[in-house]
Every structure is written in structure tokens, then in C-alpha cells.
Structure 1
Amino acid sequence: MGLEGGELSFVTAASPSDCFAAVLDFESYPSWQGPIESCTVLERDSDGRGSLVESVVDLKIRQARYVLRYSYEEPRLVRWTFVEGDPKDVAGEFVFEDDGAGGTRGVYRQAIDVGRLGMLARGPAKAGLKKLLLDEAVRDLKARVEAA
């Protein structure tokens, strides 16, 4: 099937540093990232940031587990690549740019090869999965940083 995904631009009144910090707070994801049921940091980098993270996600059609490797360019970039799990491959990033007025212009990119999960995600279910991967992640991040 290959990697499929998309990108979504967004604007928030929160600073790039606040957005960056929220994305790095993996342990809190189940409380504010809608589809994420659990998130565990398995390894940390020399700065104490999660570098290897396991997540369990409710995809509506079933649960999926995956482990991602994270890299950073603080405070403007969080990038992840697939290590193991139910999908065949996952890659993505958040990019945060100062808007000149204390807020952030951001871009969220996410691509996934669902592998055998794809047999369950066809037609409307596949479109719903893409919406889940893009729209909900951005909506939930904006709600988190703007509530702070």
C-alpha cells in the first residue's frame, strides 16, 4: 500500500515553545489526544526528552500499537519515524514557526502505511482514519496549548 497521509497547517495564539512542550509531554497524551489510549516513554535522549515512545491508539475499527523514534530541533521541529508495531510504517512531524505576534504558525505532517490494518480500512473507514490522523491531532494540540 505504501505511506499515505497528508499535511495540515494551523495557527494558534500559543508560542512555538508552548507547542513544542505540549508535544513532548507524552505521558499526558491519553488525557488530551483523543484517540491515544496509552503512551509510554521507553527511552530518553541526553536532554531528558522522549526518544523512543510506545503508543496504543483507538482507530475506531480496532486498537493499534506502535513504537516511534523521535528527534528534535527545539523549539521548532518534532519528527518521528517508525520502529515497530501494528502498522507497516509511520512517519511525521510538527513544525512550529513564530508568527511575529507571540503565536505560532504550525504544520502537521503524518503518513502511515497501515499494512494489514488496511484490510479493515477501506472507503469511508480509510477517509475516517486520515481525518483521525490529521484533524484530531491538530485540534487536540490547539485545545491543549490554548487552555494553558
Structure 2
Amino acid sequence: MATDSVTESITIAADLPTVYDVVGDYESYPDWLDEFKSAEVLESYDDGWAKQVRFALSSMGLTVHMTLAYTYTDTRVDWRLVDGDMISKNDGSYDMEDNGDGTTTLTYTLEVQSNVPLPGMVRKRIAQKTVTDSLKAIKQRAES
């Protein structure tokens, strides 16, 4: 199966700590990200940040269950797929850059591989839509 990769950036009118907190608040994702149906933190680091999270997502009539493992630096959140029912890869990152003017540039990189046979154009469109919609939702939440 082919791997689809998407990278996109957005400028958010919020400081880096605010953006970081929105990105890392996984359990709230179903409240403001349409495709997320559930999110459960399975394990956390000593500092309280999530180490593993189980998600259920629904997109284009398909429901996907997956568990992601997270690692953190001061300006980056990385994840990799631990377990998934319709995907064999969901690895990515959020890179945050403080622009020095109260805004933050957020770059979302996603690599996904599906176990479900879909045409390449459809797979790529789903990945692109996921990244674009997520960035818009993060921007809206961080700016509110």
C-alpha cells in the first residue's frame, strides 16, 4: 500500500504556549474537531502530557480506530501509530514557531497508509482534508 504525505502550515493569532495547549488537549478533540468521535488518554508522562491516546474518527462514511504514541519537545509534538484497524501508518508532527509578534506558525505533517483499498486520489484527498480541517479548527480554538 502507498503512503500519502501532506504538509501544510497556518499562522495563528495566539502565542506558542496557547497553540501547544490546544494541540495537546486530545480529550477535547471530539468537542471541536468534527471527524473525531472519541478520544481517551491511555497513558501519560510524569508531567501530565499524554503518552498514548486511543481515537475513533469518522470520515467519508468510514470509522477508524487507532492508538497513537506521542513525544514532545518545546516546539514540536510527534506521534506514531501504535495500533489501528483500517490504517497501518499514521505518523506525523505539529511544529510550532513563535513569530515574535504574538502569532504562531503551526505546521502539520502527516504520513498515512490505509489498509482499505482506495484509489490514490481519494486517499490523498482524505489526508489533505484532514490536515486542512484540523489546522483551521486549531486556529479557531486557539484564537477564541
Normalised-by-shorter TM-score class? over 0.9
Q: Is the 8 A contact 1:110 1:133 kept in 2?
A: no
In structure 1, what is the equivalent of residue 41 of structure 2?
41
Report the Cα offset of residue 9 of structure 1: 1.1
- Larger strand fraction of residues: 2
SS in 1 for 2:48: coil
| Residues 16-95 of structure 1: pairs in structure 2 closer than 5 A | 16-74=16-74, 76-86=75-85, 87-95=87-95
Would you say how many aligned residue pairs link Structure 1 and Structure 2? 143
SS in 2 for 1:71: strand
In structure 2, what is the equivalent of residue 130 of structure 1?
127
TM, length-normalised to structure 1: 0.91
Report the Cα offset of residue 123 of structure 1: 5.6
Structure 1 residues not aligned, in runs of 5+: none
- Report the identity percentage: 26
Q: Tell me, in whole angstroms, the C-alpha distance in 2 between the residues paired with 1:142 and 1:60.
A: 23
Report the Cα offset of residue 132 of structure 1: 2.5
Structure 2 residues not aligned, in runs of 5+: none
Report the Cα offset of residue 2 of structure 1: 3.5
Residue by residue over 1:50-81, the C-alpha shift from the partner in whole angstroms, topping out at 9 and shown as x without a partner, is: 1100000002131000000000013x111001
Q: Pairwise CA RMSD of aligned residues?
A: 1.3
SS in 2 for 1:88: strand
Q: Tell me, in whole angstroms, the C-alpha distance in 2 between the residues paired with 1:17 and 1:40.
A: 23
Report the Cα offset of residue 26 of structure 1: 1.0
Report the Cα offset of residue 124 of structure 1: 5.4
